[in-house]
A and B are shown apart, each in its own frame.
Chain A
Amino acid sequence: MSESVSDTPPLPETSQTEAELAETGAGFATAVEHAAPFVGRPAAAPANVVGRRPRRGDFVYYGLRNKKLVVGVSLEILFIALALIGPFLAKYPPNALVGPGLSHPNHTFWLGTTNLGQDVFSQVVSGLRMSYLVGLLGAVCASIVGMALGFIAGWRGGIIDEIIQLFTNVLVMLPALVLLIVVGAYLQNRTIFFEGVFIGLTTWPWVARAVRAQTFSLRSREFVDMAKLSGKRPLSIIAKEIAPNMASYLFLVIILLFGSSMLLAASYDFLGIGPTNLVSLGSMMNNANQNAALFFHLWWWFIPPGVLLTGMVAALLVANVGLDEVFNPKLREQ
């Protein structure tokens, strides 16, 4: 029953018109790209429902009853567990030459070997960890920058808002991947930290847009006026009055950003502009491609990393829709 109502776009505040919606909520929500693909899709949430504060127990109760959330989270836990205990299961270092080249999956090499005789399973496990790491780095970076700028723009308004919006819109337009190709041509040694930060610094506009729109609609509420009258400082108003009211929405945005960072990193690694000398899911696909894995039917080389990453991101997406229904009472009722 709740199936069909999942992630309904935002119920606009009275002042929001369609054009503005397009700018902030819904359009943003549907900006479907590869990079920041579904960032912002959680549009449902600007719940902004100010009223009885939901008890934590409520979320747990509805969360456990929500099939999507349970399935998505369990899958994700499975993947994370694999990433954590993987090194104990994997018998070899990811880059070690341990067996005959190009052997089919068998009981020694669960997912076969590469052309050089590296164990594909060990590589996949290592790549999994790297994907989570880069996703985390990207999401954290983007959240910090995006939230800071979003709060400032939404709270201050006026010319500062205009300037921040301008830069946000400009950054959204610049093709990040092409930029990284150019930068990568000059930086010969790139670390995974660099990749994560680069992703964060090119995807923060999605967070900033969401935070700005929410702050903007919240700051004229009575409870914010009340806090102002009582002499609270802006920083503490933002932290105590505004941020909690968009926390669930923000959480959804960040989850999606986490997923899209992993996907972006895969693209970068596939092109060889990611971290140098690092085994990741993307670099595995790159190696497979460069060694004509398609032509020689070496499916075990590129299908496992691809399927795994798809699974990791899809589980996040499904969990995200579930969370959306849990946080948003409007979706829950149905």
Chain B
Amino acid sequence: MRRFLSRKLITYVVAFFIGVTMDWGIPRLMPGDPIQSMLSKFSLQSASYTAQYNAFAAEFGTNLPLWQQYVNYWKGLFTGNLGLSVWAPPAHVTTLIFQALPYTLALLIPAITLSYIVGNRLGAAAARRQWLDNSVLPLGYILQAVPYPFLALLVPYLFGIVWKIFPISHAYNPGLLPAWNWTFVASLLDHWFLPFLTLFLVSLGGWAIGMRNLVIYELENDSSRYMRALGANEGVVRRYAYRNASLPQLSGLALALGVVVGGNVVTEIAFQYPGLGTLIFNAAANNDYFLLQGIFIFIVIGVLVANFVIDLVYITVDPRTRLSMQGSTA
């Protein structure tokens, strides 16, 4: 277990380091000067432009030598100071992020866990049951093949416009003031459902197909044959097959996270849902480089933390990692 965890931790530390360095480096490597593009919005005289430019450069520390900027960036990160937003001044980048975060989490956490659980159950049930397989399998392939933006348009079109069941944009009725009363919470849930459904559906097919294939493989395993030979009934054999098959699925979940986060951005924008995805998109559209940097590193941290949580779950589920018997690592 210690071996397993320490390897993982090294990966996380390196990932974090690379993420931060990219986050710091991209604005500095890319063509174009953020401050310049920021100031170009105001038509300034050349003298006042230079003055403004120098003031901003001093404020943001871009006039320092690069290594000093890099060190400052790390310092800012650990003190929680990600700078000011240019687009929504004078808001702190961290404030904006924490305002948007609950919406993103409210979409992501239920969508990921439910599609994982339902997909796995569905796939396991479909394995080696012809009638169910014939419906789950094609559906699974279609769900896997459907482009994300298309689903994010089709779902609101059908449920919101054609059948008029759910609202299709924003997180709550814009006519309401946020408060903890029933009307507002109902409005929140009402607006939450369709983006959630989109995110849920898009990964469902993959989990179902993956689980189906793994369970079929497990059911033909020697261990399953042995159990059948001992006279165990099929239900028991299936239960063991399912448990064995969920291990690779679990590590698949960790691998999927980075991508689900991307999908979440598409959903939030299609639904104008005020989470981190919409925020980073607005930041990019408005050349708000500090906000952009801040959200990027925040998302990276989020993915790493989620990965770590999945690792911990993996350790509790798989006794072999606990006993540090996970075979040769090379």
Q: Which residues of A pack against B, CB within 8 Å?
A: 3-9, 15-23, 25-38, 41, 43-44, 157-158, 161, 166, 169-170, 172-179, 181-188, 216, 259, 262-263, 266-267, 270-271, 273, 281-282, 285-286, 288-289, 293-295, 297, 299, 302-303, 305-307, 309-314, 316-318
Contact = CB atoms under 8 A, between A and B. Distances in A.
Given A294-B168, A317-B144, A18 B262 contact: no
Given A19-B327, A186-B31, A273-B284, 8 more contacts: A29-B213, A29-B252, A34-B202, A182-B26, A216-B330, A266-B147, A299-B157, A314-B141
B260 A34 contact: yes
Interface range on chain B: under 10, 10 to 19, 20 to 34, or 35 or more? Answer: 35 or more
Contact of A18 (B244, B259, B296): B244
A182 B292 contact: yes
Given A8-B213, A294-B168, A31 B30 contact: no
Contacts of B241: none
Given A35-B259, A318-B141, A186 B14 contact: no
Q: Which of A22, A30, A169, A173 has the most CB of B within 10 A?
A: A30
Main secondary structure of the interface of B (DSSP, over half): helix
B105 to A, nearest CB: 15
Contacts of B146: 306, 310, 313
B213 A19 contact: no
A289 B270 contact: yes
Contacts of B248: 9, 18, 21-22, 25-27, 29-30
Given A15-B327, A27-B251, A313 B145 contact: yes
B149 interface: yes
Main secondary structure of the interface of A (DSSP, over half): helix
A26 B214 contact: yes
Nearest to A306: B150
A309 B214 CA distance: 28
Contact of B149 (A186, A286, A295, A317): A286
Nearest to A321: B141
A294 B145 contact: no
Interface in B309-325: 318, 320-321, 325
Contacts of A312: 145
Given A8-B217, A27-B255, A30-B248, A41 B31 contact: no
A32 B208 CA distance: 10
